[in-house]
Amino acid sequence: MIYAQATATTGALDEERVRQTLTAGLEGRFKGQKVLVLIPDHTRSLPLPLLFRLTVEILHDARQLDFMVALGTHPPLSEEQLQRLVGITAGERSTTYQHIGLFNHAWDNPAALTTLGVMAQDEIQQLAGANWHPSLPDEVEIRINKAALDYDHLLILGPTFPHEVVGFSGGAKYLFPGISGPEMINATHWLGALAQVVGTIGIKETPVRAMIHAAVRRLPTPVTLAALVVAGHDLVSVFVGDLFGAWSLAADLSAQRNVIWCTTPYQRVLSCAPTMYEELWTAAKAMYKLEPAVASGGEVIIYAPHLEVVSYVHGRYIYEVGYHILPYFLQDWDRFKHIPLGVLAHSTHVRGAGVMENGVEKPNVKVTLASKIPAGECARLNLGYLDPASIDVTAWQNREDEGILYVPRAGEVLYRLMKF
């Protein structure tokens, strides 16, 4: 059921229309209730400061109103970062918004989690379908932040984009893996890796989406979704409604607004990762969103001159295994099965599709990193290296006819080939 919706015909929705839509969809709905709002971190584009203020204003009659950042395994935010995320000052935090809780999800703190049940192997096999592989867990404990059960209602407030693991982000993904335990995080990401990026990204109904929805049906707390569609920096649409219906409409519109169809594959791509991606763990979206449009034997250069960290949380595992195609891990599974599945999934997503020939790894696409991460570390990680200072960005522009593509702000728009 959809309670309210608005879509801009051109440009962005203005503040008044956003206010009207959220008011129509949310006002009075949670009177006297404890409400927890799930929001993204700074690695997603949306006008969160505006949305935070409007939500607090509209839900003034809630008995308690708190916000939790659905981090998955992203690094937790400091108090200062939390305030910056929602656009308030320290002074406002201690006065106007002192009654509002701002929390991080803690995926790695068992005391913060509770169990909703267990997903057995037969259910996992059914959901995975043709993508099932014995490297998937025999069963998955469905753990979630216990705060999800401490409130009368959950409100999800976040955008929907093409996504390498689940097809399209948003919706129930804010619950699993957004505020879930490591078991669901690892299982869903590895299932996405088995399906591979090109077979997943920009596809609405995927095995991972089915797995997430199967898990969320075990959650007794009611959920309302304010699903957003963002194009560039513009908020172009808001759908307020039930968890599945609002997400479905947002995914359909995202497929129109966040996908660029290409007639021929590109040989080389300069894919510029914006500074909101502070580690390769997220900046690698500059590869994921471009791989489907790159010719076999082509190259994606992740241009991120600000970047100096592979992963704040998972770095030691990534340096242990490096970046490799999926068959590289599957052919020698006993050697790698101690590595968290989410890390292995990230590794294969970054390296892209490919095959093993006579024990030699043959990726379809060369992946080169142009960042502060030095050449020696890139070699250790099995990535190419370019000195970012050597790259003249202007020399890459307007050369599509030569098979060269420049993407000035990569990570949220999917490039894919038309099928003729």
- What is the span of the domain harbouring residue 220? 2-257
Residue 166 sits in the same domain as residue 236: yes
Residue 202 sits in the same domain as residue 267: no
The residue length of the chain stands at 420
Query: What is the structure's pLDDT at 45?
Result: 87
Inter-CA distances, 338 with 187, 317, 319, 380, 413, Å: 14, 10, 14, 20, 34
pLDDT over 90 for what percent of the chain? 97
**DSSP-derived pairing of the beta strands 113-119 and 366-371:** unpaired
Residue 290 sits in the same domain as residue 388: yes
Residue 341 sits in the same domain as residue 285: yes
To the nearest whole number, what is the mean pLDDT of the chain? 96
pLDDT greater than 90 at residue 194: yes
What is the separation of C-alpha 404 from the centre of its chain, rounded to a whole number of angstroms?
Answer: 27
140-155: burial string, b at 16+ Cβ within 10 Å, e else: bbbbbbebbeebebbb
Residue 253 sits in the same domain as residue 282: no
Residue 132 sits in the same domain as residue 195: yes
Inter-CA distances, 179 with 108, 127, 134, 301, Å: 11, 21, 26, 32
Query: What is the structure's pLDDT at 419?
Result: 80
pLDDT greater than 90 at residue 255: yes
Residue 252 sits in the same domain as residue 266: no
Query: What is the structure's pLDDT at 244?
Result: 97
pLDDT over 70 for what percent of the chain? 100
pLDDT greater than 80 at residue 275: yes
Tokens found for residue 61? 């009659």
Last residue of a domain, one of 257, 287, 321: 257
Query: What is the structure's pLDDT at 228?
Result: 98
Query: What is the structure's pLDDT at 133?
Result: 95
Residue 138 sits in the same domain as residue 7: yes
When divided into structural domains, the chain yields a total of: 2
Q: What is the CATH number of the domain that holds 177?
A: 3.40.50.11440
Last residue of a domain, one of 212, 235, 257: 257
Query: What is the structure's pLDDT at 20?
Result: 97
- Select from 119, 126, 196 the least CA-distant residue to 164: 196
Q: What angle do CA 175, 179, 183 make, to 5 degrees?
A: 95
Write out pLDDT tens, residues 94-150: 999 999 999 999 999 999 999 999 999 999 999 999 999 999 999 999 999 999 999
Query: What is the structure's pLDDT at 420?
Result: 67
The model carries a pTM of 0.95
Residue 251 sits in the same domain as residue 312: no
Write out pLDDT tens, residues 276-333: 999 999 999 999 999 999 999 999 999 999 999 999 999 999 999 999 999 999 999 9
Give the number of other Cβ atoms within 10 Å of residue 97's Cβ.
20
pLDDT greater than 80 at residue 65: yes
pLDDT greater than 90 at residue 179: yes
Query: What is the structure's pLDDT at 396?
Result: 97
Q: What is the CATH number of the domain that holds 315?
A: 3.90.226.30
Residue 238 sits in the same domain as residue 265: no
